[in-house]
C-alpha cells in the first residue's frame, strides 16, 4: 500500500498532538482514500516538516513522530506564468509543483486572451494535491494575479523566455545569481511583445530562447523549469566546462 500524505493547515502540528480533522480532510481520507481507524498516514505541515500519524477515529488523528525527510529541493525557483486559456494553467500548476517550484505568480500581459481569473483558490488546491501526490514537504505559494509591468518592477534576478531571443539559454543562465531566488518568466499563447521584452531588459531581466522550435506556452513553462533545475543542480560542473571552453585556443585543439 502506498504512503498517504496529507497537508494539514493547522497552527500546531507536533509529536503527541491529537488533531481534529477538517471537513475537507475527512472527506479526502475516508471517502476518497478509504482509510480506516488505526491506519498510518503521513502529515505535512507545509513548512518543510513531515510527521507520522495514526487515525484514531472518523474525526481525529494522533501525531506519532516527526520524520526525517530530504525530498524537498533546496532550489529557489519561482515561475511567473502569463494567464493561459482553458485548463492549461491547471496543467502548469500541477507539473511545476511536481518539479519543485517554490512559488507561482500568474500575470496578465499584452497578448493574454484572458484578462482576469477567479481560479486562484482552485490553483492553490491543485498545488496542494500535487504536493501530496509527489511527496513534497511544502506547497508552492500561488500569488494573486498581477500585470506584467508590476511583475518586472521588483524582479532583480529573472530570466524571460522569448522565441526571438538571440542569446542561448546557457549564456543567460550563467549571468544570473544562483544564490538568490530565480524568477522564470513565461508568456501567453501569443508570446511577449517587443515592447514587453524591451521593458524587461530595461529592468535588468535576462532574455533567452528555449531553442529553435516554437513551444506551446504550457510546454515552455515545464521545459524551462526542467532545464533550469538541471543547470542549477549541475552548476559547478557547467561553470568549469564553460571556463574551459572560453580559455581554449585553436592551438590547444
CATH assignment of the domain containing 222: 3.40.1280.10
pLDDT of residue 219: 94
Residue 82: give the domain boundaries. 77-239
pLDDT of residue 178: 86
Assigned domain for 253 exists: no
Residue 109 has pLDDT above 70, yes or no: yes
Give yes or no: residues 119 and 194 share one domain. yes
What sign for the dihedral angle of Cα 135, 141, 145, 147? negative
Give yes or no: residues 122 and 170 share one domain. yes
Q: What is the C-alpha to C-alpha distance for residues 244 and 42, in angstroms, rounded to an integer?
A: 47
Instruction: Report how many domains make up the chain.
Output: 2
pLDDT of residue 239: 56
* Res. 252 pLDDT band, cuts 50 70 90: very low
Assigned domain for 230 exists: yes
Choose between 43 and 149: higher pLDDT. Answer: 149
Give yes or no: residues 48 and 137 share one domain. no
Contacts of residue 136, Cβ cutoff 8 Å, sequence gap at least 6: 44, 71, 72, 97, 100, 130
Give yes or no: residues 122 and 218 share one domain. yes
Give yes or no: residues 40 and 141 share one domain. no
CATH of the domain at 22: 2.40.240.20
Give yes or no: residues 171 and 199 share one domain. yes
Tell me the per-residue pLDDT of 144-165, one tens digit each, with 9 for 90 and over: 999 999 999 999 999 999 999 9
Assigned domain for 246 exists: no
Residue 188 has pLDDT above 90, yes or no: yes
CB distance 161 to 226 below 8 Å: no
Q: What is the C-alpha to C-alpha distance for residues 71 and 223, in angstroms, rounded to an integer?
A: 21
Assigned domain for 38 exists: yes
Last residue in a domain, options 29, 44, 67: 67
Assigned domain for 231 exists: yes
Amino acid at each position: 500500500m502506498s504512503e498517504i500524505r496529507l497537508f494539514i493547515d493547522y497552527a500546531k502540528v507536533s509529536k503527541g498532538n491529537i488533531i481534529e480533522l477538517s471537513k475537507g480532510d475527512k472527506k479526502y481520507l475516508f471517502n476518497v482514500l478509504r482509510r480506516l481507524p488505526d491506519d498510518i498516514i503521513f502529515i505535512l505541515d507545509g513548512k518543510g516538516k513531515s510527521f507520522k500519524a495514526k487515525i484514531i477515529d472518523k474525526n481525529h488523528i494522533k501525531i506519532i513522530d516527526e520524520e526525517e525527510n530530504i525530498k524537498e529541493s533546496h532550489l529557489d525557483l519561482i515561475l511567473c506564468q502569463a494567464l493561459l486559456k482553458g485548463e492549461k494553467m491547471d496543467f502548469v500548476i500541477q507539473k511545476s509543483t511536481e518539479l519543485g517550484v517554490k512559488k507561482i505568480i500568474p500575470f496578465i500581459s499584452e497578448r493574454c486572451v484572458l484578462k482576469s481569473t477567479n481560479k486562484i483558490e482552485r490553483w492553490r488546491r491543485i498545488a496542494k494535491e500535487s504536493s501530496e501526490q509527489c511527496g513534497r514537504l511544502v506547497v508552492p505559494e500561488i500569488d494573486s494575479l498581477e500585470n506584467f509591468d508590476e511583475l518586472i518592477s521588483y524582479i532583480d534576478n529573472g530570466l524571460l523566455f522569448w522565441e526571438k531571443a538571440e542569446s542561448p539559454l546557457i549564456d543567460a543562465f550563467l549571468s544570473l545569481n544562483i544564490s538568490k531566488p530565480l524568477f522564470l518568466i513565461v508568456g501567453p499563447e501569443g508570446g511577449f511583445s517587443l515592447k514587453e521584452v524591451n521593458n524587461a531588459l530595461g529592468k535588468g531581466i535576462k532574455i533567452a530562447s528555449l531553442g529553435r522550435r516554437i513551444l506551446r506556452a504550457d510546454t515552455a513553462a515545464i521545459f524551462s523549469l526542467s532545464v533550469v533545475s538541471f543547470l542549477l543542480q549541475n552548476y559547478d560542473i557547467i561553470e568549469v566546462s564553460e571556463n574551459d571552453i572560453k580559455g581554449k585556443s585553436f592551438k590547444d585543439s
